[in-house]
Structure formats: C-alpha cells, structure tokens
Amino acid sequence: MNTVVTRLLRRNRAGRLGVLIVAAIMLIAEFGPLLAPYGPLSPDYPAARQAPTLGHLGGTDDFGRDILSRTLYGARISLGVGFAGVLLGLIPGVAAGLTAGYYSGGIDAFVMRVVDVMLAFPGILLAIAMVAILGAGIQNVVIAIGIFGFPVYTRIVRGSTLQATGQTYVEAAHAEGARPWRILMQHILPNIFAPIIVISSLQIANAILTEAALSFLGLGAPPPTPEWGAILSGAENDLVTSPYMAVLPGAALVITILGFNLLGDGLRDALDPRMRV
Amino acid sequence: MRGYLAYRVMSAIPTVLGVTIFVFMFVHLLPGDPARLMAGLGATDDSVQLVRHSLGLDKPLWTQYSIYIRGVLQGDLGISNRDATAVSVHLAQAFIPTAELTVAGIAVAMLVGLTAGIVAANAHNTPWDVALTSGAMLGISLPSFVLAFILIWVFAVTLRMFPTGGDEGAFAIVLPAVTLGVGAAATIARITRSEMLGVTSQDYIRAAHAKGHAPLAVILRHALPNTLIPVLTVIGLQFGFLISGAIIVETVFSWHGLGRLLVDAIGFRDYPVIQGVVLLFALEFIAVNILTDVLYAWVDPRIRYQG
Amino acid sequence: MWLRGSAAVLAFCVMAILAVGRTGAAAPTRLIVVQNEDANTLDPFNDGVNVGLGIGRAFYNGLFGFDATMKVRPVLVTTWAVSADGLMYTFHLRQGVTFQDGTPFNAAAVKANFDRVLNPANHIQKYGLYHTVSGIAQVTVVNDSTVQMQLAHPSATLINNLAHPSDGIISPAALVKYGNQGIATHPVGTGPFVFESWTRGDRIVAKKNPHYWQPGLPAVDEIVFRDVPDSTQALAMLKTGEAQFVYPLDPVNVKSLAGQAGVRVSSTPSIFETCLLMNEHYAPFSKRNVRLAMNYAVNKQALISTLYLGYAREMRSVVGSQLDGYAPVGTYPFDPAKGKQLLAESGYPNGFTATLWLPNDTFSQKEGVFLQQQFSQIGVRVTVVPMESGTYDTNLYLGPDKSTSQLILFGFSPSNGATDWALRANFATAAWTPALFNASFYSSPKVDALFAQADRTTSTAQRNVYYKKIQMIIFSDAPWVWLGEPLDIAGISTRVSNADVLPDQTVQVQDARMH
C-alpha cells in the first residue's frame, strides 16, 4: 500500500493534483460552514442580485443570499450524495458481481441478464423515473444514483472475479476444501480491490454529475437546499444579466468532478496501469 | 462469423424482453393518473373512469402487459394517450433528429478524440501532451448543461457563428453535437493516447521509423491499426452513452428528438409513448453493443466468444 | 481552437446529410412565434392548455372572439337575440364563409360542433364548460344562417364561453373524415391559416388561407409556432432575430433587451392570478384566524419586487382586476406581528408545520422558498415539495376524501374572461376537486346561495352586485393567500404589429402584420 501512495503522490502529477483537489473539497465540506461569511439560507432582499464585491465575493442571488456561502455549504451535500450514492450501488454490486463471477452457470447468466437490461435502460431516464416515483429529495437522489451504479460495479467485479478464480492460489484453496465464503473473502476480494477502488473514485465523479443534472432538471434536492446543481438551475434564467451567479457553483462542480476523475486515474496508474476500468 | 452474429442476436432476446417488463413496471409505478390527465382538469370521476376504461387501464396489470407484448411482437407499439396517434408515428418523427444528433455527436467525438489522442501520444511528455490530456480530463468533468450554456452564449449570442439550436438551417446541429460529443471525445482521446503509447514503443514501429518512413505514415499505417480494438470498444460504448445523453442535450437545445418526446410523455403520463421510446433506446443500445462486438471479432479473429 | 476547427469540418458533413429533404426556400413573410410548451392537441374543444388554444386561433374562428383587451366581439355571428327568460339564444351567422376544405359554414356546421361536445359519450374536455356551466341543452337549425341554443338554466357567461378559444368551429366534413380523435392533429376550420405540419416538441406550421373571408387578412404568408422550453434559448432566438415573437419572457431577461435594436418588450395586464391554497381539511387551516394570519405574513410587495422584478400587481380582490365583475374589496397588509397574535389566539402560539406543494419549475420553486421565509416569521414551518408536472396535476385534483394537501401554490386564469367562472370554479362547494378547481375545499352556504341568485338574473349590472358580495365574503373568509397578478411579458420584433398576448395568457397572432 505504501508503494501505491508513493507512486500516486510522487510520480504522477495528475494524480497528485487529484489528491489535492479531493482533499481540499473534503476540507471545505467539513469546515465550509465555518468559512462561510453568511448563512446559506438567510435572505437579504435589499442586497439582491449584487455583482461580486468585497462584502459578497461571489455576489448575491435573487434573494440576496451570499453565493459564496451557499457554494461552500453545497460541498457537504455534493460529497455526501456522491459517497452515499456510490456506496449504495457498490455493496450490492460487489455482492452480485462476486456471486456471478464465482459460481458462474445459471446464477451468472441471470445476474448478467439483469445487468444488461439495466445498462440498456437510459441511465438519466432511470434516475428521472426513480425521483418521480419516490418524490424529490436528497435521499431519493442517492437511491437513484445507487441503482444507476449497480450494473457498472457488478460487471467489473464479475470480470475481475472470473480472472481471480482461475488463479492457482484459489484453486489450491479449493483443493484444501475451503468454504466458498472463505475463498471469496480471503482470496478473491483482496485481489479485486484495486479495480473497485478505481471505479469507485470515478463513479463518485459520475454521481456528483448525475446529482447536479437531476437538481438542474428540478428533480434533486428540494429548495432552498444549497446544492450546486440547484444553485445553477436557479441562476439559469439570470445567466444573461447576472452571469456571476453561476460562476462559483459551476466552478465548484467542475473542479470537484475533475478532482475525483484525476484521483481515479492516478489510482489506476499507481495500482495497475494495465487495468481496464 | 455469421454464427457468432446469430449467437449475439439470439442472446439479446431475453434482454429485450427484460427491458419490456422493466419499462412496463416503471410506467405503472409512476405516480400520477393518465386517465385523470387525459380527461382533463375538472372532469368528473365518472368520466375519468370512462377514460380509464377506454385506455384499458382498468384491466389487471398482467393482462395489460400481455396485450402490450403481443402488440409489440406484431410491430404494434400502441396508440398515444395524448393525441391518439400511433406511437410508431411519433417514434419515426422523433427518431431522425436524434439519429442526426447522435451520429454528428459521435463524429465530433471521433474526429476530435482520435486526433487529440494521436497528437498527444506522439508528442509524449511535451506541453502539447499535457495540454491535450488536461483538456480531455476537463472534457469528461464538464456537465453537459454547463457546457451548453457556455457554447450558446459564446458562439450563438456573442459571436453569432451558429444558431442557438432547434433546426433552423444545417448549422443548427453544430452546438448540440459538440455539447454531446465532448465527453465522448475526451474518453476516446485518453484511450487512443494510452494505446498509442503502448504500441509506439514496440519494435516494429521503431523498425518502421528506422527505415525512414515519414512519421505520419508510420502512425497512420502501422501504429493506428494496432490500437483499433480497444479504441473501437470505447467508441461503441460511448455511442451507447450518447444515445441517452441526448435527453439532456435535446432539452437544453430544444432539439425535437426522442429525448424531448420522452420528457413530454413522462409529464403527460403517456404510457404507450414512454414504453415505445425506452424500447427504442434499449434496442439501439443493444444493437450498438452487438455491432461493436462483431466488429471486434472481425478485426481480431481470435476473439469469438466473450461470455 | 479545436472547437472551431472541428465545427467547420462537422458542419460540412452535416450539411451533406441535411441537404436532402430540407429545402430552404424562404417564404416572403414568415412570423416565428416562440412559446415555452408544445400544444397538447389542435382540437380546440378538447384543449385545456393556453398554448394550443392560442395557436388554434390561426386555424379556427369562433362564433365570438376577444379583442386584445378581451372585450367580446362577434366573429362568425353577425347579430343575436336573447329571449326574455334568458333561456333561448338566436344567432344569425355570417354568410359566404367556407371551411378550408371547401365545406360551407352554416347552421348545420354549428350544430354538428356543439352536438359533438355536448354528447358525454365523446369525452370532450369542454363538455363541462358548454354543458354544465353554459347550460346548453339543445342546438337547433332554424335555417341555413340561423341557429338557436336552448339553455337548461340561464347562464351569465354563455357569450363569454362562446368567445373562449375552445369554441373554434371545426369543419363537419373534417370531423367525419378524421374522427373525434384524429381531428386533434388535422385541424380544419374557417380561420386565416391552413394547417401545414406539426412536429411534436418542435413546431406547428400554418400557411396563409388564400380564401379567408375577412378582406386584407391574413397579412403574413406563414406562421411558425415554435416550442422552446428553455427561456435562455428563447431569449437568444429573439436577440439573433431567429424569432419575432417570444412569450413568455422571463422578467430577469427584460433588462438584457434594453437597447436591443429591433425588439420591443410588451408587458400587459393578465387575468392570471398566483395564489396559495390552504386546505381547510388540514386542522390549522380550518380556523379562519389561522388563514388570516397566513395572509398577514406575506409581504406581497417584496415578492413582486424580488421575484417578479416589478412585473406583477398586488391584488385587491379574490379575482383578477381585468375581469368584468371585479370589485376591489380589500387587501391584507404585511403585518407579521398581527399574524403571530392571530395564531396565538387560535391555539398555535408556537406555530405549526405545513408542506407546500408546487410545480418543479425554477420560478415556482423560488416562490416557494420566498413563502417559506415569510411564514417562518410567524412560526409556521413550511417544507417545500416540488412535484414533476404529471404528479402535481394529479395530486391537485384529488377529491376531499383522498387529498393530503396542506398548502398548494396555484395559478388560475378564467380563460372565458368571466368573473363568474373565476369565482365559481374555485370557491363554490360544487366545485370541490375533482369536479372543478376548489382544492382548498372552501364551502360557504352564503356564497353558494348568491351564485344561485346570480344564475336567475339576466341583468349584468344586477349580477355584478351579487359578484361583489361574493368577493367580499370570500375575501373575509380568506381560503387563499392572494399573491399577485403577474403581467404578461412578451418580446416582439418591432417589425411585427397586431400580435398580442391576451390577458388570459393565450397568444393572438393570426392577424399579425410584418413590415
């Protein structure tokens, strides 16, 4: 593991940038509320629609709320949704992928058909449908993102499991009469850890993007939540007259996604450059 | 080859069947009552009931599904709740703009992606490489609705180079296609670059260079063909993603394709149209996957069976 | 840099693809009208959506119509008479008019249209408007150019309802040819434009009717009705000259049009009202004092200046100020202290919680956030619940036994321009959802009795006296919070005249001229 970190931080410029960005965003998510000069929800009508000034570095929105403060608070929501959404899809995805890859045969065929069906179903549509059924709200966005990610993890974990199952040490464990559960946990899971880490990092970027798109379509976090996609959506009509309203949340969104993509890429290079994820 | 194709098509049948069940369940799970929406605001409960009956929505779900699937098998996708036009007419009308958009999008993606990937690989570790690689990373990280607004304001409103969207004239497709294609372009650029890097260090490329062939000729004639398989796979996958990515791009650019048709149909709970569009999306996705795999097998005859 | 390069290459490829089948022979005068929705149907009797009703005016004429300020004027009718008991209307029809398919317009055509809508088996949406509200019992052909309507009860609003854009007389031959459903996509009327094509989610194309009966009209060769849901894009189209008429225009975008040559911004009063419904079946809202407190809690001026940027008016009654029987009866001033006190007196010293349903468009969500802030001042903790449109519409029209609503952000426009409809559809006990729009389940025996009295009189002045009483009672009972009357804002090319947005928020562009 040490060598991985060394490789990630020392040798890979892009990976290093990714680590830096992700660390910074995590710090903002944790301490953003302390840094924010104003409350994210407190209106100040006389100060509405102000271009950036020293008092409001990012300007104010149509309620006079400080855009910088809203963007800082937004980090926690975006990261939270990103992590939670990925975890929600990852756990069943790994379970299904391991099972399918290890047992093959009927179970495998069934799982892979389900995965095919889900992949054939347009992803954003699935998310729109989930939110329409469950109602708008952050937890429903998390569920939608989880379901959305499930087939992706399943497919990758299954592929890696198939590979690992063919290795001599697994066959040796079989010969020793080890139970399937032990083999999966002790021998296979550690060996497919690398692709899981990489795909998770990349999927967090994806999840944050999906979340923003849903909020943008009016299906995400309910108002007045300071979620980045929702702030952007609120600023959409003001884009012509007050473009500054979109600058901070837009930049935060792009930089965060970029950070996780760089991190995922860097991790892949550090763990196994030949990995196809 | 033909056997492989047949195998792939056959094995797609349960997937398609699964999709029909999935979409059928999904539309019936949507909250909102199509009979009420169709009967109109202010209709009495009785007339809503009559509409529900005339749409067949009062039958048990299983009966409704079997009626639906029987129709689909005979090529009948049903009638739109909203305007009593055949779903196939709606699909045909909306399919062409979406096809134009996705084909244009993948064209942008391939053109930009392959070029950038090749240039970056051959300029390995130069500022060009760094710029292109970072650009690709940014391209992946840019939400399409953000990109769309930047493009509209820069190219349509400020510079007035292209129309804002819709389909006023042939150039109208440029901005939506670029928006749609940028993410895929970035992905293609990355895989092309890394595959090229892998190939250019091989002996036969060095030999070709040593023989004094023009560098561009070496790249195009010797290096590129050997990167084709993984690049092809990625292009195929990306094409699939573009089909569904079109939903957001079509909304932002008022492009009257399948995405818009779908969003409108969801708003109106027009079950037959929703089912038709999703089925078409799924078929396209599956077809592209099969095509990619077949091409894959054709390029590299060692690959026949990818379970 | 690569953007431009690739765009050029791409444009070349794409031009080749598109060149086939899309010839760009530009019509001499072509008016492009942009709205933010597509029509639902082009069968006017079956439409409840303003976009389609406005577009329908290009293809159809009604017996009556509205001018730009929604005063009723006869169109296919020349003169008419009412019997003393108010139950028999005789209409003399305009002669020499033919439908676009060559069918002559006559009394039989009128009868065919109304027989169709009045037959409940046809499930035509405006059955309620013409049967229940107007009370039309029977339509009789007297001779080729005279038709009579027998009413089941006197109607205060029959002529207004016949001016409503849903009264667009359809060619009876086309009704037979395309059927009850097919007419939705094959409109054939006596209007100034002939239907050319409809691409869903994109455009409806209307071509000049060369045989139109009104001399000098239509004045343009083609009208294209575009559906552009994105307001930023609609604005861009106006700026680049891709569109000549954009409605609605977002208030924030008006500023960006200042100094734009060739574009004028028109803002006109509407009969649309934005309001907040309080479900009286939700315990706190069953108390009048709580509903009053909610009214005192909202600073309507702040709402209008913050979100509408001044493009709205405060209401002084329970219906819009542009309606005929409107009477200014009062307004609740912004007084949160009084609101708090009223809540305390009603047993809610610490306030209560309520959920607020609203559509999930950006503007409604902002309105919801504003209201949430306002109500928090009197201790009412509001959760904003945005709903996707299909869900919102369905939930809104649930009956009293099924509805779980508490607060609903609602907009209403009586598209027949009648005070009677604006009051009755929202506040009569008989109008409880799902029958009509009374989703606050307000019920006042006094109001219901006054409606019955209004029905029994044919004198407009006398009816307006009843309407004024009704407005006073409802205002005092406060089943709603009246938020404001938005102005209709349209961006119109200075080359275009005679194109309007009517106060009911439908466009009327069929008589437009281009210079």
Q: What would the DSSP string read from start to end of C324-339?
A: TT----------HHHH
Of A120, A239, A254, the CB nearest to B15: A120
Q: What is the pLDDT of residues A36-79, one digit of tens each?
A: 888 888 888 888 888 898 888 889 998 889 999 999 999 999 99
Note the pLDDT of residue A220.
82
Yes or no: say if C76 and C105 are a contact pair by the CB < 8 Å rule: yes
Interface of A with C in 65-104 (CB under 8 A): none
B203 touches chain C (CB under 8 A): no
Note the pLDDT of residue C57.
95
More confident residue, A171 or C452: C452
C376 touches chain A (CB under 8 A): no
Dihedral sign (CA B210, B214, B220, B221):
negative
Report d(CA C329, CA C223) in Å as an integer.
43
In C43-170, alpha helices (H): 50-59, 107-118, 127, 158-163
C127-135, long-range: CB within 8 Å, 24+ apart, which pairs? C127/B47, C128/B42, C128/B43, C128/C436, C129/C161, C129/C164, C129/C166, C129/C416, C130/C161, C133/C157, C133/C161, C133/C421, C133/C424, C134/C158, C134/C161, C134/C162
> Cβ–Cβ of C362/A224 closer than 8 Å?
no
Of B93, B107, B170, the CB nearest to C200: B93
How close, in Å, is residue B212 to chain A by CA atoms?
31
> Cβ–Cβ of A136/C369 closer than 8 Å?
no
Yes or no: say if C284 and C462 are a contact pair by the CB < 8 Å rule: no
Q: What is the pLDDT of residues B269-287, one digit of tens each?
A: 888 998 898 888 888 888 8
Report d(CA B283, CA C242) in Å as an integer.
36
Of C253, C306, C362, the CB nearest to A241: C253
In A10-104, alpha helices (H): 13-35, 67-103
Q: Which residue has the tokens 């676009």?
A: C100
> Cβ–Cβ of A122/B244 closer than 8 Å?
yes
pLDDT value at B302 more than 80: no
Distances in Å between the Cα of B220 and the Cα atoms of B148, B286, C351 are: 33, 31, 74
> Cβ–Cβ of A14/B137 closer than 8 Å?
yes
Q: What does the buried/exposed string (b/e) look like for B256-294 if buried means 16 or more CB atoms within 10 Å of the residue's CB?
A: bbbbbbbbbbbbbbbbbbbbbbbbbbbebbbebbbebbe
> Cβ–Cβ of C185/B85 closer than 8 Å?
yes
- The phi and psi torsions of C81 (rounded to 5 degrees) equal -140, 150
Report d(CA C158, CA C481) in Å as an integer.
30
Q: Find the farthest-apart pair of alpha carbons in chain A and give their distance in angstroms, rounded.
A: 77
**Statement to judge: residues B209 and B115 lie in one domain:** yes
Residues from chain B that touch A227, judged by Cβ atoms under 8 A, are none
Categorize the per-residue pLDDT at B230 as very low, low, confident or very high, splitting at 50, 70 and 90.
confident
> Cβ–Cβ of B143/A209 closer than 8 Å?
yes
Residues from chain B that touch C425, judged by Cβ atoms under 8 A, are 42
Residue B55 resides in a domain:
yes
Of A132, A218, A237, the CB nearest to C253: A237
Interface test with C, best of B27, B41, B88, B98 (most C CBs within 10 A): B41
| Secondary structure, 3-state, chain B | CHHHHHHHHHHHHHHHHHHHHHHHHHHHHCCCCHHHHHHCCCCCHHHHHHHHHHCCCCCCHHHHHHHHHHHHHCCCCCECCCCCCEHHHHHHHHHHHHHHHHHHHHHHHHHHHHHHHHHHHHCCCCHHHHHHHHHHHHHHHCCHHHHHHHHHHHHHHHCCCCCCCCCCCHHHHHHHHHHHHHHHHHHHHHHHHHHHHHHHCCHHHHHHHHCCCCHHHHHHHHHHHHHHHHHHHHHHHHHHHHHHHHHHHHHHHCCCCHHHHHHHHHHHCCHHHHHHHHHHHHHHHHHHHHHHHHHHHHHCCCCCCCC
Interface test with A, best of B15, B134, B258 (most A CBs within 10 A): B15
CB pairs under 8 A between A and C: 74
Report d(CA C22, CA A60) in Å as an integer.
46
- Pairing assessment for the beta strands C353-359 and C407-412 based on DSSP bridges: parallel
Categorize the per-residue pLDDT at C7 as very low, low, confident or very high, splitting at 50, 70 and 90.
very low
Residue B65 resides in a domain:
yes
**Statement to judge: residues B200 and B269 lie in one domain:** yes
How close, in Å, is residue C389 to chain B by CA atoms?
6
pLDDT value at A86 more than 90: yes
**Angle value at C-alpha C287, between C284 and C291, nearest 5 degrees:** 80
Nearest CA in chain A to C308: A62
Dihedral sign (CA B190, B191, B192, B194):
positive
Residues from chain C that touch A237, judged by Cβ atoms under 8 A, are 231-232, 250, 252-253, 362-363
**Statement to judge: residues B139 and B182 lie in one domain:** yes
> Of the candidates C18, C19, C31, which has an alpha carbon nearest to the alpha carbon of residue C510?
C31
**Angle value at C-alpha C480, between C487 and A134, nearest 5 degrees:** 90
> Cβ–Cβ of C202/B167 closer than 8 Å?
yes
> Cβ–Cβ of B149/C232 closer than 8 Å?
yes
Q: What is the pLDDT of residues C469-494, one digit of tens each?
A: 999 999 999 999 999 999 999 999 99
Which chains form contacts with chain A, at 3 or more CB pairs under 8 Å? B, C
Looking at the structure of chain B, the number of domains it has is: 2
* Structure-token pair, residue C321: 């100020």
Interface test with A, best of C257, C304, C365, C405 (most A CBs within 10 A): C365
Residues from chain A that touch C360, judged by Cβ atoms under 8 A, are 136, 218-219
Identity of the amino acid at A222: P
Q: Is B3 exposed, middle or buried (0-12, 13-18, 19+ CB in 10 A)?
A: exposed
Report d(CA A139, CA A256) in Å as an integer.
21
The helix (H) or strand (E) run that includes residue C416 is: none
The helix (H) or strand (E) run that includes residue C340 is: helix C336-345
> Cβ–Cβ of C233/B253 closer than 8 Å?
yes
Identity of the amino acid at C179: G
Of A136, A237, A241, the CB nearest to C362: A237
- Spell out the residues 6+ positions from residue B69 whose beta carbon is closer than 8 angstroms to its own: B20
The helix (H) or strand (E) run that includes residue A209 is: helix A193-216
Yes or no: say if C32 and C222 are a contact pair by the CB < 8 Å rule: no
Identity of the amino acid at C389: S
Interface of A with B in 38-67 (CB under 8 A): none
pLDDT value at B221 more than 90: no
Residues from chain A that touch C249, judged by Cβ atoms under 8 A, are none
B287 touches chain A (CB under 8 A): no
> Of the candidates B144, B152, B150, B167, which has an alpha carbon nearest to the alpha carbon of residue B245?
B144
**Statement to judge: residues B260 and B214 lie in one domain:** yes
pLDDT value at C23 more than 50: no
Residues from chain A that touch C384, judged by Cβ atoms under 8 A, are 222-224
The helix (H) or strand (E) run that includes residue C97 is: none
More confident residue, A82 or A221: A82
**Statement to judge: residues B33 and B177 lie in one domain:** no
Residue B307 resides in a domain:
no
B181 touches chain A (CB under 8 A): no
Q: What is the pLDDT of residues C278-321, one digit of tens each?
A: 999 999 999 999 999 999 999 999 999 989 999 999 999 999 99
How close, in Å, is residue A82 to chain C by CA atoms?
22
- Region of residue C201 (phi > 0: left; psi between -120 and 50: alpha; otherwise: beta): left
C301 touches chain A (CB under 8 A): no
Report d(CA C419, CA C438) in Å as an integer.
15
CB pairs under 8 A between B and C: 173
Peptide bond into C434 cis (omega under 30): yes
DSSP code for C129: I
Interface of B with A in 94-153 (CB under 8 A): 133-134, 137-138, 140-146, 149, 153
Q: What is the pLDDT of residues A147-159, one digit of tens each?
A: 888 998 998 888 8
**Statement to judge: residues B128 and B42 lie in one domain:** no
Q: Spelled out in words, what is the top-level CATH class assigned to the domain C191-268+488-514? A: alpha beta
Distances in Å between the Cα of C62 and the Cα atoms of B277, C150, C191 are: 37, 19, 9
Mean pLDDT for chain C overall: 89
DSSP string for residues in C170-188: PPHHHHHHHHHHHGGGS--
Say how many C-beta atoms besides its own lie within 10 A of residue A35's C-beta. Answer: 12
**Statement to judge: residues B62 and B112 lie in one domain:** no
Q: Hey, is C489 helix, strand or coil?
A: strand
> In which residue ranges of chain C is CATH 3.90.76.10 found?
60-177
B286 touches chain A (CB under 8 A): yes
Q: What is the pLDDT of residues B32-61, one digit of tens each?
A: 778 877 776 556 677 778 778 878 888 888
Which chains form contacts with chain B, at 3 or more CB pairs under 8 Å? A, C
> In which residue ranges of chain C is CATH 3.40.190.10 found?
191-268+488-514
How close, in Å, is residue A125 to chain B by CA atoms?
8
Yes or no: say if C194 and C207 are a contact pair by the CB < 8 Å rule: yes
B39 touches chain C (CB under 8 A): yes
**Start-to-end C-alpha separation, chain A:** 20
Parent domain of B14: 2-73
**Statement to judge: residues B174 and B61 lie in one domain:** no
Nearest CA in chain B to C359: B267
> Cβ–Cβ of A240/C306 closer than 8 Å?
no
How close, in Å, is residue C305 to chain A by CA atoms?
9
- Pairing assessment for the beta strands C312-313 and C480-486 based on DSSP bridges: antiparallel
Nearest CA in chain C to B252: C230
Rounded mean pLDDT, A195-215: 88
Question: Which CATH number is correct for C273-486, 3.40.50.300, 3.10.105.10, 3.40.228.10, 2.160.10.10?
Answer: 3.10.105.10
Q: What is the pLDDT of residues C188-220, one digit of tens each?
A: 999 999 999 998 778 999 999 999 999 988 999
CA dihedral C191, C197, C199, C202 (to 10 degrees): -60
> Cβ–Cβ of A238/C252 closer than 8 Å?
yes
Residue B250 resides in a domain:
yes
The helix (H) or strand (E) run that includes residue C412 is: strand C407-412
Q: What is the pLDDT of residues C131-159, one digit of tens each?
A: 877 889 999 999 999 999 999 988 878 99
Categorize the per-residue pLDDT at C3 as very low, low, confident or very high, splitting at 50, 70 and 90.
very low
Note the pLDDT of residue B172.
78
- Spell out the residues 6+ positions from residue C251 whose beta carbon is closer than 8 angstroms to its own: C307, C308, C309, C310, C311, C489
Report d(CA A102, CA A111) in Å as an integer.
12
* Structure-token pair, residue C382: 């509001």
Residue B305 resides in a domain:
no
- Region of residue A205 (phi > 0: left; psi between -120 and 50: alpha; otherwise: beta): alpha
Query: Could you tell me which residues are beta bridge partners of residue C411?
Result: C274
**Statement to judge: residues B183 and B116 lie in one domain:** yes
> Of the candidates C432, C426, C429, C434, which has an alpha carbon nearest to the alpha carbon of residue C398?
C434
Q: What is the pLDDT of residues B89-100, one digit of tens each?
A: 889 988 888 888
Residue B25 resides in a domain:
yes
Categorize the per-residue pLDDT at C406 as very low, low, confident or very high, splitting at 50, 70 and 90.
very high
Report the topology of domain C60-177: Dipeptide-binding Protein; domain 1 (3.90.76)
**Statement to judge: residues B257 and B139 lie in one domain:** yes
Yes or no: say if C291 and C434 are a contact pair by the CB < 8 Å rule: no
pLDDT value at C83 more than 50: yes
State how far Cα C441 lies from the chain centre.
Answer: 22
> In which residue ranges of chain C is CATH 3.10.105.10 found?
273-486
How close, in Å, is residue C361 to chain A by CA atoms?
6
